[in-house]
Structure 1
Amino acid sequence: MNVFYEDEGELRVAKILTQSEQSMMVETPFGKRVKIKRQVVIFEFEYAPFEQFLPQAKTAQTEIDVNLLWEASPTTDTLDVKNLALEYLGHIPNFVELASFYLAIFDAPIYFYKRGKGLFRRAPEENVKAALLGIEKKRVQEAEKQKSLEQIQRGETPEWLKSHYHVILYKPDKNTWEYKTADFIATSLGLSLPQLIVKCGLIRNSHDYFTQKFIHDHITPEIGLSSFDKDTFLAQLTASPVAAFSIDDAFTTEIDDAFSVQELDNTHWLIGIHIAVPALGIHETSELAHYARLRLSTVYMPGNKIPMLPEAVINCFSLQEKQWNPCLSCYITVNKNTFEISDRTTKLEKIWVEDNLRLHDLQPYFLDNDVVASHAYQQQLQILLHLARYVADQRGVNTRPQTHYIDYDFIVEQDRVTITQRPRGSPLDTLVAELMIEVNSHWADKLSQSHLVGLYRVQENGKTYMSTEPKSHQGLGLKKYAWTSSPLRRYVDLVNQWQLLRIINHQQNNCFAEQNEFTEIAKSFDITYSTYLDFQRNMERYWSLRWLIQENVTTWQAVALRDVNVRLNELPLVLSVKGVEKLVTGQHYTIKISKVDLWELKCDCELVQ
């Protein structure tokens, strides 16, 4: 005796070896012995050789019109398959024919719903129609998918991809036909989705993909703001009697700081550090302030940047040359001979900025031994440099071991990149950095001495973070430090500036009613700022690799770092050397470079010497 039964979602046959009330031991056509429960048995039959039973039933199944079978089926809850076969055939079905009907119904889930082992129910007409429409839709979509693949192989771009690529790349819904089709085509061509979009000419390259992906994931869309009335703010302010000048790199448009030098008397200079004051025009609860809080910082990358504030605000409050500009000034009284500081005062005012000086123009005038060569601002620059050296000495930085860091400047013009080195700690670099540290340190003191909350930059035990508590900054050698000198570029500086204006105006309340808001700002700034820096580093890596391609570099000099990593000379690029177990740290090597990958941001690197 044989058995026709259902097991693991399939209809099967087997030869009965032994049986009990609850189960059977059977042998499959392949000679395998298995134990099955009686409840999975559909019917028992005699047939020899039983191995041919199922193939013959499947052959008979092909003669059955499933649609006609469905139409002939009663709408009762459970079908009597034997009676249905009798009605369809016009005679009592034999076991092979009966099995063929079970197979036909089993393989037609659109027309017949399964209700148990060997039990089925006729699907409602509306459900069948909907399912058939779905099948037809899928058939059409599959045909369109194949057509789109062939189009792209011919160098054509399907219209649906032109209109949906941005969503597919930056906000994908993997259940949509467009995403599934793009993924199918990319896989068929051995590409990633971004590479497919580049192949179709919808974005230019991996650089554009990285940038747009970052913007989509992290940058608040621009706010509509046409202009800011600068004259309104200037009219409220007293004019400084001295003209100022700024020092920035060639591409800086958010000019946050400027300097001035006055002779106070025969023994003292009055040094002015003037900071742009957007807090004067941005109310802390305004839509514009909320926008700045979402962005939190300007984002920098080679050849481009994403400002924190709208252009209209920058144009109003940036310390532009040949203009009167609102500013928050820190005036420092220093001894002409010793540069000892005897007084510091803070004042909200307007100042005339005579010149926006640029680093690359000034650098040649700074000679060895801290001497400034003949220049229109020679005296002011020399005085400021001496003051910078003095405040650095007071912090004790000159007593520490000196680490010589290199900064790298990227200039991108018409898709060509130039990378230049700028040693950190040069006289000009020291001048600007130390005076910013001075004003940030002083205003941190001012914030901590008031009853208002400040946002402080803390560095302790190797960790650097924002805090509402005025803790030490070990790297700078300061008991407290706050970022206040870049309010056009960093939201925490803007918040501190709101607080400083309250101190100046003798206001008793914080700019935010709840202190936990300051804590939340500190936390979110740390996270966001780290994300922005990671993106900047990745894009610098991209352009460094791009430079290798541009200059056809195949071999280069490098210095070993740790393990198998090397830093390329004259480039901010660290690579891993293949085929070696360990390199001698500090040793110089010649390396071979190949297979530069601008998607994975890596290349093959092998030791030549």
Structure 2
Amino acid sequence: MNLFFEESGDFKAGSVLSQAGEAYQVEMASGKRNKVKAKDVLLQFTSPDPVSLMEQAKAAAADIDLEFLWEVAGEEEFGFAELGAEYFGHAPKPEEAAGLILALHTSPIYFYKKGRGRYKAAPEASLKAALAGIEKKKQQAIIQAAYVEELKQQRLPDALKPLVLQLLFKPDKNSIEYKAMVEACDALQTSPPRLMLGNGGLATAKDYHLSKFLFDSFPKGTAFPVAPIPSLPDNLPVADVQAFSIDDVTTTEIDDAFSVVTLADGKIRVGIHIAAPALGIKRDDALDHIARGRMSTVYMPGDKITMLPDELVETYTLGAGQTRPALSLYVTLDTQEWTVVSTETKVEAIPMASNLRHNDLDALVTEEHLASGAGEYPHKAEIAVLWQWAQVLEKGRMVKREGFGLKPEQTNRVDFNFYVEDDVVSIVRRKRGAPLDKIVAELMIFANSSWGKLMHEHGIPGIYRSQGGGSGGWAAKMQVRMVTHAAPHQGLGVDQYAWSTSPLRRYTDLVNQWQIIACVEHGVTAPLVATFKPKDADLFAIVSGFDAAYSAYGDFQTNMERYWCLRWLAQENARQVDAVVLKDEVLRLVDIPLIIRLPGMPQMARGAQVKLDLLRWDELDLSVEARLLEMLTTVADDLGDAEDDLETDADTPPDVVLDDTLLGDEAAAAAEEIAEQTADGAGIEKNGETDTPVAE
């Protein structure tokens, strides 16, 4: 005797060897012996043999007309034997009955299983819906196959053109478009971004990097919503100064300027003037929501995405020949010892005489020329005064740093400025600590520290940068934190430091400007009327949001600088290049701030120079492959001190380009250790848009 039975959802046939109660010992065609319970047996038969039965049953199942079978079944629950008699018109043969069972079991949209060998026909509405779904999937499979063929031919189907960014960065993995892209990538042995570059979905690798950032950080686009632009206040006293700014040639958001006046008693009064958009923007108005949504201007070589609309920037920027609202810090100095006699903060309008540019003055305003008085340039006398005071300020900060247990800052480093025009990049080396850089840096540090102290003394919260004094290891202790109370910034050598000098470009500075103005206008009652009261929970939310946005923007800028470094290599056809050893296997090219890891490189002293042969580089994944050609004998002098670098504010994007995903954790950490970050806000003028090249 033979049995046709169900086992674990599968149907099998075998020969009975023995029976014990409600169980059979069954031998399969493979020779394996199974124990089969009587309740699982569907058919008992003598012929054909089990193997033939299964073959004939599968053939019979394939011949069954499912639609007719469904009609015959009716609406009531049935057993397979009953339906078989109706369908075949006679008591079904074993192979027919087994074939019917297979057909019923493999057609769940037509028949619902109700028990062992029992089924019920699906309702008509459900059947129609299921059949429509199957037909839809068939059509989708046809469409998907067509997409795949087009993609394999390096053509982008029209239906995929508006979906390129979504497919790359936030795909619906159940969509036929995504499945087609993945299938084509598998067939071509490539990645989705390369596939899109090849078929025109992306124009260039630059578009890929920019699109990814915009998709993540600006999903609604970079255009500003319509918002009323406040008119300039007309009730401000006009300062009796002729102010001037010092910026890179590409800077458009000019938010800091200086003035120098000699007083009747021979003392000097230095004015540090900061653009005052806080007079026009009010908390929770449309412009505030715009600024808070962006948190900062985004910089990249050759372009930027401003925090505030151009119309507002043009209204409040400190442009030459204009009189504009400003928050001014006046510092009276005794030039005998260059000591600070007094300070005073005013809200006023300042006349702007000039916008000086580094590109025009760097070659003229040198330490040698300042010492000898050589050269002719605008505001020469004022710059000379500021230079003398800046040196005193720096010296005082270094004493303070040493008091915190830190070494003096290293200034023998090189920064790099990026300029892009018509997709042609220029990367210009600038030695950090040049006089104009130091003037701006030191005066901004002084202003930020002074205004941080002012807020603290008036008992109102602000947004401060703090470094040092933490717990844990050295790196944890020196991690820069944003806090809402005054705390030392050991890396800068100041007792408190509140970003306040870039209100057109950073939301933290705009917030602090509201608070500082409250101190100036209301004095001891400032805590009652300040925009943010003590313990305002919203201030903590701003700190958190700013940290996240600023970090994302910094990562993007770093990636874009690395991209433009690779573009420079192609542009200059650079194949054999000089590099300087940062640490172990990590090197930086001499001419551009490109970091390369060279596995297996012989042990060399930090600062040693080598010659590399660049084998290939990839602008999409930002990788570089190189081999060592020659070890040179010269040692670079622009790396600074590694230990000192760890003591600085590491939150600012360094002028060397770091990429953990490319270098590996150890190499990236080494590169970051050597990264030229002397202080908070430090580093190069990223496209001329930072307040200060050294520290701010």
TM-score in terms of structure 2 length: 0.82
* In the alignment, structure 1 residue 560 sits paired with structure 2 residue 562: no
- Give secondary structure in 2 for the equivalent of 1:11: strand
Q: Is the 8 A contact 2:154 2:195 kept in 1?
A: no
Cα 1:564–1:117 change in 2 (3 A) is farther
Alignment partners' CA distance in 1, 2:579 and 2:41 = 75
Cα 1:456–1:25 change in 2 (3 A) is farther
1:555-598: CA deviation from partner (whole Å, max 9, x where unpaired): 32222333422222222222221445865544333333233122
Q: Is the 8 A contact 2:79 2:117 kept in 1?
A: no
Cross-structure match for 2:389: 387
The total of aligned residue pairs comes to 606
Cα 1:152–1:179 change in 2 (3 A) is closer
Aligned residue identity for 2:488: S
* In the alignment, structure 1 residue 481 sits paired with structure 2 residue 497: yes
Q: Is the 8 A contact 1:225 1:312 kept in 2?
A: no
Structure 2, unmatched stretches of 5+, are 469-476, 631-696
Q: Is the 8 A contact 2:229 2:311 kept in 1?
A: yes
User: 1:427 Cα deviation (Å)?
Assistant: 1.8
Moved more, 278-287 or 149-158: 149-158
Cross-structure match for 1:53: 53
Cα 1:33–1:377 change in 2 (3 A) is farther
Give 1:576's match in structure 2, choosing from 597, 622, 627.
Answer: 597
Cα 1:320–1:68 change in 2 (3 A) is same
Cross-structure match for 2:419: 411
Work out the percentage of aligned pairs sharing the same amino acid: 38
Moved more, 202-211 or 434-443: 202-211
* In the alignment, structure 1 residue 457 sits paired with structure 2 residue 473: no
Cα 1:123–1:343 change in 2 (3 A) is same
Cross-structure match for 1:357: 356
Alignment partners' CA distance in 2, 1:582 and 1:27 = 71
- Give secondary structure in 2 for the equivalent of 1:505: helix
Alignment partners' CA distance in 1, 2:309 and 2:500 = 19
Alignment partners' CA distance in 2, 1:164 and 1:422 = 43
Cα 1:401–1:498 change in 2 (3 A) is closer
- Give secondary structure in 2 for the equivalent of 1:135: helix
Cα 1:303–1:115 change in 2 (3 A) is farther
User: 1:524 Cα deviation (Å)?
Assistant: 2.2
Cα 1:195–1:155 change in 2 (3 A) is closer
Q: Is the 8 A contact 1:303 1:412 kept in 2?
A: yes
Give 1:376's match in structure 2, choosing from 361, 375, 378.
Answer: 378
Q: Is the 8 A contact 1:566 1:577 kept in 2?
A: yes
Higher relative contact order (CA 8 A, sep 6+): 2
Alignment partners' CA distance in 2, 1:288 and 1:527 = 21
Alignment partners' CA distance in 2, 1:43 and 1:581 = 77
User: 1:22 Cα deviation (Å)?
Assistant: 5.5
Q: Is the 8 A contact 2:208 2:620 kept in 1?
A: no
Alignment partners' CA distance in 1, 2:261 and 2:55 = 104
Cross-structure match for 1:432: 440
1:37-84: CA deviation from partner (whole Å, max 9, x where unpaired): 44433223334542232122212222221221112112113x321222
Cα 1:510–1:37 change in 2 (3 A) is farther
Aligned residue identity for 1:228: I
User: 1:36 Cα deviation (Å)?
Assistant: 4.6
Give 1:511's match in structure 2, choosing from 490, 506, 531.
Answer: 531
* In the alignment, structure 1 residue 541 sits paired with structure 2 residue 549: no
Q: Is the 8 A contact 2:227 2:287 kept in 1?
A: no
User: 1:444 Cα deviation (Å)?
Assistant: 0.7
Cross-structure match for 2:260: 261
Give 2:506's match in structure 1, choosing from 470, 490, 513.
Answer: 490
User: 1:189 Cα deviation (Å)?
Assistant: 3.3
* In the alignment, structure 1 residue 467 sits paired with structure 2 residue 471: no
Alignment partners' CA distance in 2, 1:587 and 1:33 = 76
> What are the residue-to-residue correspondences of 1:72-471 with 2, within 5 Å?
72-77=72-77, 79-154=78-153, 156-219=155-218, 221=221, 222-225=223-226, 228-230=229-231, 232-233=232-233, 235-369=234-368, 370-371=370-371, 373-396=375-398, 400-403=407-410, 404-460=412-468, 461-471=477-487
Alignment partners' CA distance in 2, 1:275 and 1:21 = 98
Moved more, 552-561 or 140-149: 552-561
Cα 1:227–1:519 change in 2 (3 A) is closer
Moved more, 425-434 or 104-113: 104-113
Give 1:520's match in structure 2, choosing from 534, 537, 541.
Answer: 541
Aligned residue identity for 1:554: R
Alignment partners' CA distance in 2, 1:111 and 1:442 = 81
Alignment partners' CA distance in 2, 1:509 and 1:164 = 50
Alignment partners' CA distance in 2, 1:410 and 1:24 = 83
Alignment partners' CA distance in 1, 2:325 and 2:608 = 53
- Give secondary structure in 1 for the equivalent of 2:577: strand
Q: Is the 8 A contact 1:114 1:121 kept in 2?
A: yes
Alignment partners' CA distance in 2, 1:381 and 1:225 = 41
- Give secondary structure in 1 for the equivalent of 2:134: helix
Moved more, 261-270 or 590-599: 590-599
1:529-567: CA deviation from partner (whole Å, max 9, x where unpaired): 122111111111121122223323333222233342222
Cα 1:333–1:39 change in 2 (3 A) is farther
Alignment partners' CA distance in 2, 1:452 and 1:65 = 83
Aligned residue identity for 1:544: C
Alignment partners' CA distance in 1, 2:601 and 2:39 = 65
Q: Is the 8 A contact 2:151 2:181 kept in 1?
A: no
Q: Is the 8 A contact 1:319 1:325 kept in 2?
A: yes
Cα 1:365–1:172 change in 2 (3 A) is same
Alignment partners' CA distance in 1, 2:494 and 2:61 = 87
Alignment partners' CA distance in 2, 1:163 and 1:239 = 54
1:134-171: CA deviation from partner (whole Å, max 9, x where unpaired): 12212222212222233344554322112333433344
Aligned residue identity for 1:188: A
Q: Is the 8 A contact 2:565 2:592 kept in 1?
A: yes
Structure 1, unmatched stretches of 5+, are none
TM-score in terms of structure 1 length: 0.93
* In the alignment, structure 1 residue 44 sits paired with structure 2 residue 41: no
